[in-house]
Amino acid sequence: MDLKGRIKNAERIAVLTGAGISAESGIPTFRGADGLWKQFRAEELATPQAFQRDPKLVWEWYDWRRQKCAQAVPNPGHLALAELERIAPHFTLITQNVDGLHALAGSKHILELHGNIWRMRCVACEAMRESREPLGGELPHCDCGALMRPDIVWFGEALPQQVLSEAFSCARSAEVFLSVGTSAWVMPACQLPVVAKQSGAYVVEVNLEKTPISEMVDEAHHRKAGEILPSLLGVEI
Ligand code: OAD
């Protein structure tokens, strides 16, 4: 049976997305020739130690990324996944992205594994604040007086436990699992398609390039997500 037929028959569908799905919206990916981790050193920007050492530098970098995200709009890849959710009985969108574009596209059941770039969290009392305003050089502070940090999972930090366990449970119960625009390198997210496959799901990858999971999946499509997803999934956007 082809993917469209499987989607039609499936009770449970889960999707994992990574930076590649937002590339066509103009948001840089992390790895690859123009990737963010080629231009910047992760350990100087995306670790708790970096923030302790130089919060201004870290916030400047996130402010720059927030501006990129603010200019971006969802592309046909995001829209196709939002449409798939509307026709599927049980649907979960697991994303490593922090840009919020899936929600803008209309997706509802979203599990954000790595946080959200629009949220900040107090380093002392953990109070949350959501703001899309540029920081303009000011370091954001909580009402309690302490510094706010981006509510993003940094290297060396644990993922939000409940979100992660729900993601694994969705991967285990999915009949169809899609892995879209992720290099499938970063743990533990990269285990989700593997767990889905071991649990009997039909696993499909969409990525410009081959990845460590390409050999294991049932179908791999090496094309741009925005170009292929609407027709691959058989949805009207
Ligand atoms: P990566 O930058 O590692 O990988 C992006 C993937 O998308 C690559 O495999 C590209 O081939 C693919 N790609 C690029 N453009 C595409 C397109 N138009 N259509 C389909 N595929 C395309 O991004 P992630 O896998 O998301 O973590 O990286 C995972 C995590 O590593 C990120 O969430 C981030 C980073 O460190 C944190 O910041 C916590």
Give one DSSP letter per residue of 124-140, joined into a string: TT--EEE--S--TTPPP
Residue 181 DSSP code: S
Cα distance between residue 177 and residue 191, in whole Å = 12
Tell me which residue has its CA closest to atom 18 in ligand 1.
224
Which two structure tokens, joined as six digits, stand for 184?
A: 């499938």
Cβ atoms 44, 50 nearer than 8 A: yes
Question: Which of 206, 111, 113 minimizes the C-alpha distance to 154?
Answer: 113
Question: Which of 46, 56, 34, 162 minimizes the C-alpha distance to 98?
Answer: 46
Cβ atoms 71, 117 nearer than 8 A: no
Q: Mind telling me the catalytic residues? A: 114
Tell me which residue has its CA closest to atom 9 in ligand 1.
183
- Listed in sequence order, the residues at least 6 apart from 79 whose beta carbon sits closer than 8 Å to its beta carbon are 105, 106, 230, 237
Instruction: Kindly list the distances between the CA atom of residue 92 and the CA atoms of 46, 99, 112, 173, in Å, as whole numbers in the listed order.
Output: 27, 17, 11, 11
Cβ atoms 44, 62 nearer than 8 A: no
- Each residue's pLDDT tens digit, 40-75: 888 889 999 999 999 999 999 999 999 999 999 999
Res 137: pLDDT: 79
Report which residue type is found at 151.
D
CA of 142 to the centre of ligand 1 (A): 32
Which two structure tokens, joined as six digits, stand for 3?
A: 């993917």
Residue 141 DSSP code: B
Question: Which of 178, 172, 174, 230 minimizes the C-alpha distance to 204?
Answer: 178
Cα angle: 106, vertex 107, 113; to 5 degrees: 135
- Residue 33 confidence (pLDDT) above 90: no
Tell me which residue has its CA closest to atom 14 in ligand 1.
20
- Each residue's pLDDT tens digit, 127-178: 999 999 988 878 999 999 999 999 999 999 999 999 999 999 999 999 999 9
For residue 97, the ligand 1 atom closest to its alpha carbon is 33
> If pLDDT is split at 50, 70 and 90, which confidence band does 194 have?
very high
Res 40: pLDDT: 84
| Other CB atoms within 10 Å distance of the CB of residue 138 | 10
Res 32: pLDDT: 82
Pocket of ligand 1 from Cβ distances under 6 Å:
18-20, 23-24, 29-32, 35, 46, 96, 114, 153, 181-183, 185-186, 206-209, 211, 224-225
Strands 12-17 and 90-95: parallel
CA of 144 to the centre of ligand 1 (A): 36
Cβ atoms 72, 99 nearer than 8 A: yes
- Residue 183 confidence (pLDDT) above 90: yes
Mutate to test the pocket of ligand 1, among 99, 208, 211, 229 (most ligand atoms within 8 A of CB): 208
Cβ atoms 150, 183 nearer than 8 A: no
> If pLDDT is split at 50, 70 and 90, which confidence band does 39 have?
confident
What mean pLDDT do residues 219-225 have? 98
Residue 14 DSSP code: E
Indicate yes or no: pTM above 0.85: yes
Cα angle: 18, vertex 20, 22; to 5 degrees: 90
CA of 161 to the centre of ligand 1 (A): 22
